[in-house]
Structure 1
């Protein structure tokens, strides 16, 4: 691994709890890693520790095999060969684009410096803009200049701290795809912080979900969505609800009984003995619920959100349980109307029913054949 973080702890003086605790992750050269999570979860603190801007109180950070941060070793930020792109871009308003981009390569001969400025501006799609000033550029163009400036010194690692947060939603998603292409073209290794899942999915090879200073899962987007390691990840990623369920074995087939009926012929379903009495909570995502007027199960529409090509319906079953469903937008039903729904579940994700999302609780999904209790991390 190019970047290795092992059991990292970052603790601020006087704080009762570490801002980052027990975090381990690895990033291969040329890959893009993304950290997501709610505000205050520790993702920016982790990024700053990698940059050398926050002292490490436990564990270690390695770059290319070299320890750059630990309780006993703290390599200065300028010695780590790391580039940073900040949330507010931090461009110098009195310098034109060319001089902004050249800021970190002033040690190079003039001709070589000018060539490198042209190279990185071409890379970010801003050829010929050297003489323009930041105030003459759009927000997206300023972001590209900041990226070009960070890439100019050829850093061994690039860190980006919520670089699109000041931009509108449509531009953020488009820029995320463009920045991914730029980083891949530059063969850059990058660690990116955001609170936006769509940004994370658009740009990341590997995504880490953080909560209360801990890294709950470090995986690709598909695995985070379909095989969440903890109840927090299951709840944080995508749209879904937890419904009470019972797992049993019938004629050598695993059956999951839910408020929507039986789930059968599903992949990766745990054995009934994984839970006491087979009772558990099952994750039902909005795309697991299909609108079907002929289905025997009916649900009342209590909320609807228009998403262009689809509605996100919040539905209440006759028994009082709530589920979510993505429904094509030409199925425009009224709030209060009852519609038919059926489950279409490929991945059964289950958790102990006693688990909750209470502060500090990290509820693990059980392995087949054993019961895994909630681990209280407070």
Structure 2
């Protein structure tokens, strides 16, 4: 790609001292002539150099070379013991993260290796490379990376990588995902088998992407496919805006309107745990709504007892511990016998 050539040329000039530390690089018009490229190509190359921490843009002043001349590069660790970085976009506080990390930690410990959880947050690839170099990391697992740019840059490093995600993401390295479509079909079948003929599927807007939760979308796909051939059942899908996008008062009003609209529905499937938590709060504060005939299926790894009006809730789960174990096995598989995308089946159980 042309922008990679320009990126390399500018970086080489920085290393060679053409643009010294703290100096301002030439004006865009001069750079276009110097590197014989289009504005779009130049902008892309400059952006990559800024992400890597080599250049720094200062509004109204220009673009400057940072205080070091040699960019830090990834150094593949030659240590025999496996040293793994477990990379996440959000804090490792959910049941899924906790179960997965415990599984990975135990597996690595049994191998005589170590695991280092690393939160990526707003880090650039340059920040990340510095961190994994200092820890002498020689393999990585990413967990639910919403930053596609960083995922691609991680894949370009000379290091084994496996992605764990809630849905099948576009990536070049192996990935492990729960089978969301199969899980959606399972949720419908459970409610249908226990007698429900009016079933509502509820998804939410993901706060990370400001759009309908993509894992919930895949679960709805499996749900809707499973019920197509059945005549005596009514199914609908609704999407709830969560707190943060709207006020708590608006949120509760939206849920109230939902139960008014679907007053004769008795089966409810929640595409993620977020809308269920909000609906549960609403039902607790509105005892006039009769829940004795209702059953709930929630896609979540919640571990504790969960009840609505003393009635156990069904959970559609995936084995997070097994996902972590398979991720490490895939990283250590020198024969490359594992498929590029692996899907773990979901299962339903009550938390009571």
Give the TM-score normalised by structure 2.
Answer: 0.29
Give the TM-score normalised by structure 1.
Answer: 0.28
